[in-house]
Amino acid sequence: GQQVMQIPQYQHVQEGEDFTTYCNSSTTLSNIQWYKQRPGGHPVFLIQLVKSGEVKKQKRLTFQFGEAKKNSSLHITATQTTDVGTYFCAGPKDSNYQLIWGAGTKLIIKP
Amino acid sequence: DAGVIQSPRHEVTEMGQEVTLRCKPISGHDYLFWYRQTMMRGLELLIYFNNNVPIDDSGMPEDRFSAKMPNASFSTLKIQPSEPRDSAVYFCASSRTEIYDEQFFGPGTRLTVL
């Protein structure tokens, strides 16, 4: 069945280092969404990418949608403690109106 | 707007008891989703509604789970009887009219079944 794979599962970084999470779909996506979930919190929408090759920035966060619309990435420059949490990608299911979610990448700041 | 409201925030119950989780979506949102999140299985969609009508319940784990949406401002997820493996965080989310619009999540209900 349709799958959205996300790697890595965890990433430990020193504060100030960069962070990247990758999302790969088994099928072409019409769009992809990114969400952030803080520890103990709920997923919060960050952005939606629609166009092939699209790149969007939100301050230190850069989101990319691949040319084939089957992969996406989120890159955070110079991580801060406020970036801690789990980042999820989600793409629409082919057959009906629902999202297929990646497993998430947990960003952990080393003490 | 108050956002998506869920109650209770925490529920501890004993195996075999009935559990009812409640959700009030954002006013004007046509879609409502129920998710379950666990460490082992991640975020799973259980069921979703469009204009109060259940569209896809293929994610509901078994007959012990049922969901209703009697009107546009209220939905329930019921587990009867509950089992320890049902312990998880249950999220309700809603989204607007446009297809594939962003989803707004509630704070979740943390369910523990002893």
- Mean residue pLDDT of chain A comes to 95
The two tokens of residue B40 are 């082992």
Min Cα distance B42 → chain A (Å) is 6
Residue A99 has a pLDDT of 87
Backbone angles phi, psi at B7, to 5 degrees: -150, 150
- B50 touching A (Cβ < 8 Å): yes
Q: Does B91 have pLDDT greater than 70?
A: yes
The two tokens of residue A70 are 């089957």
Q: Does A96 have pLDDT greater than 70?
A: no
Q: Which DSSP symbol is given to B107?
A: -
Which residue, among A96, A57, A93, A97, has the nearest Cα to A77 in the 3D structure?
A57
**Which DSSP helix (H) or strand (E) runs through B53?**
strand B53-56
Q: Does A79 have pLDDT greater than 90?
A: yes
The band of B71, judged by pLDDT with boundaries at 50, 70 and 90, is very high
Which residue, among A45, A57, A61, has the nearest Cα to A101 in the 3D structure?
A45
Residue A93 has a pLDDT of 82
Test B42 with A99 for CB contact under 8 angstroms: no
Test B33 with A98 for CB contact under 8 angstroms: yes
Test A42 with B31 for CB contact under 8 angstroms: no
Give chain A's length.
111
Q: Does A14 have pLDDT greater than 90?
A: yes
The average pLDDT across B24-51 equals 94
Tokens 């109060």 map to which residue? Answer: B52
Q: What is the pLDDT of residues A23-66, one digit of tens each?
A: 999 999 999 999 999 999 999 999 999 999 999 999 999 999 99
Backbone angles phi, psi at A6, to 5 degrees: -130, 135
Test B100 with A41 for CB contact under 8 angstroms: no
